[in-house]
């Protein structure tokens, strides 16, 4: 029973991180906090990918003489690495946008920026 519960824990954590990230993106007005919510959601996706590729008793797929025929899925690990790289680039670009908005408008409050626009 406890083993089954521990196997479901990553999926529960994915749901919690996704909901926290979504709540931050929807309810916060500060652009930096919105970006933090986006980062939380990216982390949730990465955790979901890693949890999906897990196999009980599996070994890393880098061994040539593996002691067990059961290996973890290398495709999921490659997708996670790609997702991390894309997430870093996206976060850097969004933070630079936030800096430009702050320099131009003097605020990072999304409601005030909308009012100042037009």
> What is the tens place of the pLDDT at every residue in 39-74?
999 999 999 998 888 777 776 767 666 666 677 777
**Region at 57 (left for phi over 0; alpha for psi -120 to 50; beta for the rest):** left
Q: What is the predicted pLDDT for the residue at 63? A: 63
- The partner residues of 30 in beta bridges, in order of sequence, read 109
For the chain, domain boundaries: 2-54+69-117
Dmax of the chain from CA atoms? 66
pTM equals: 0.81
- Domain 2-54+69-117 maps to which CATH number in 3.40.50.300, 1.10.287.3510, 3.10.580.10, 1.20.120.1460? 1.10.287.3510
Q: What is the CA radius of gyration of the chain?
A: 20
Q: Which of 98, 81, 114 is nearest to 36 (CA)?
A: 98
């Amino acid at each position: 029973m406890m083993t089954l519960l521990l196997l479901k824990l990553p999926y529960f954590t994915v749901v919690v991180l996704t909901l926290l990230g979504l709540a931050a993106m929807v309810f916060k007005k500060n652009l930096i906090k919105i970006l933090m919510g986006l980062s939380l959601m990216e982390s949730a996706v990465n955790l979901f990918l890693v949890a999906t590729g897990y196999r009980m008793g599996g070994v890393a797929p880098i061994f040539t003489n593996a002691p067990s025929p059961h290996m973890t899925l290398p495709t999921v690990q490659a997708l996670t690495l790609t997702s991390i790289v894309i997430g870093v680039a996206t976060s850097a670009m969004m933070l630079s946008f936030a800096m430009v908005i702050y320099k131009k408008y003097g605020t990072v409050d999304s409601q005030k920026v909308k009012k100042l626009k037009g």
